[in-house]
Amino acid sequence: NAGVTQTPKFQVLKTGQSMTLQCAQDMNHNSMYWYRQDPGMGLRLIYYSASEGTTDKGEVPNGYNVSRLNKREFSLRLESAAPSQTSVYFCASSGGQGAGSPLHFGNGTRLTVT
Amino acid sequence: GNSVTQMEGPVTLSEEAFLTINCTYTATGYPSLFWYVQYPGEGLQLLLKATKADDKGSNKGFEATYRKETTSFHLEKGSVQVSDSAVYFCALSDPGGNEKLTFGTGTRLTIIP
C-alpha cells in the first residue's frame, strides 16, 4: 500500500522562487493536512482540508497557499520562497472519524531556501 | 489554546533499560492523546493512543495512560532495544472534535547496545 505519497523528496530553491509540493493519498480519507517540522519546534500545522472543496488555515499559514484538487490530492504552494521556509514538510491524511482518528503521514519533503 | 510539553532530549539509554518520556498537556475539554514515532528519513507513525481519561494505550511494548488529574500521558517501556532508537512525539487532538493534532517538540531516543 502506498498510503501517503509526497513529491519531491528534496528541493533547493533560491529566495523568491516558487514551487508546489504535491501530496496524494490512496486510503479514501476525507481530511488532509500540511505540517512543517523544524528543530526544537515539533510539527506545526500550516493548512488543512476537512473534506474535498474546503481548506482552512492552521497555526503558520503565512507565505503558503493550498489546493485540494480532489479527494486524493492536496498540494502546498510557496509563491515566493524565503529562507525562513527552509524546513521539512509533511503531508498527512485521516479518515474523518472524529478526534480519535490517527493521522497517516508521508515521508516528507526536505526544502532548503538559499 | 492547546499545547503539549514534552520531555527534552536527547535521551541515551543502554539496551534493556527502562524508558520514560514525560508528556503533559493543556487543553480545554477532553482531547484524545497520541504518541507518534519517527524513524530516520521517514514520516511519523502512530505508536499508540488513548481517547478518554484512564485509558491505557499500548503497542510494541510501549504503554501510556491518559491521566486527566495530572494532564499527563507519559510514555514507558520496560526494556528498550536498539531498534527503538527514534524521535518520539506526544500529540493531542482538538477537543472540538476534529482531527487536527497539536504536537510536542519531540524527544530523540538513542539506545546503545
Confidence of residue B15 (pLDDT cuts 50, 70, 90): very high
Q: How close B113 gets to chain A, by Cα (Å)?
A: 27
Q: Would you call B49 and A33 a contact, using CB atoms and an 8 Å cutoff?
A: no
User: Which of A45, A100, A104 minimises the CB distance to B32?
Assistant: A100
Q: Which residue of A has its CA nearest to B29?
A: A99
pLDDT-derived band of residue B92, with 50, 70 and 90 as boundaries? Answer: very high
Q: How do residues A45-81 score in pLDDT, each as one tens digit?
A: 999 999 888 999 999 999 999 999 899 999 999 999 9
Residue A103, CA distances (Å) to A11, A106, A111 in order: 25, 10, 22
Average of per-residue pLDDT values in chain A = 93
- pLDDT at position B29, please? 81
Is the CB of B43 less than 8 angstroms away from the CB of A107?
Answer: yes
Q: Provide the shortest C-alpha distance from residue A96 to chain B (in Å).
A: 7
Q: What is the number of other CB atoms lying within 10 angstroms of the CB of residue A25? A: 23
Across residues A26-46, what is the average pLDDT? 93
Q: What single-letter amino acid sits at A70?
A: N
Residue with cell string 517540522: A37
Listing DSSP states for B17-80 in one string gives: --EEE-EEEE-SS---EEEEEE-TTS-EEEEEEE-STT-EEEETTEEEE-BTTTTB--EEESS-
Partners of residue B104 in chain A, C-beta under 8 Å: 42
pLDDT of residue B97: 62
Least confident span in A61-70, A90-99, B11-20, B87-96: A90-99
- Quick one: pLDDT at residue A1? 64
pLDDT, average across residues A84-105: 88
pLDDT value at position A69?
87
What is the spatial distance between Cα A77 and Cα A42, in angstroms, rounded to a whole number? 21
Those residues of chain B whose CB sits closer than 8 Å to some CB in chain A are 4, 6, 31-32, 34, 41-46, 49, 51, 89, 93-106
With a pLDDT cut of 90, the percent of chain B lying above it is 79
Judge: A58–B100 Cβ closer than 8 Å, yes or no.
yes
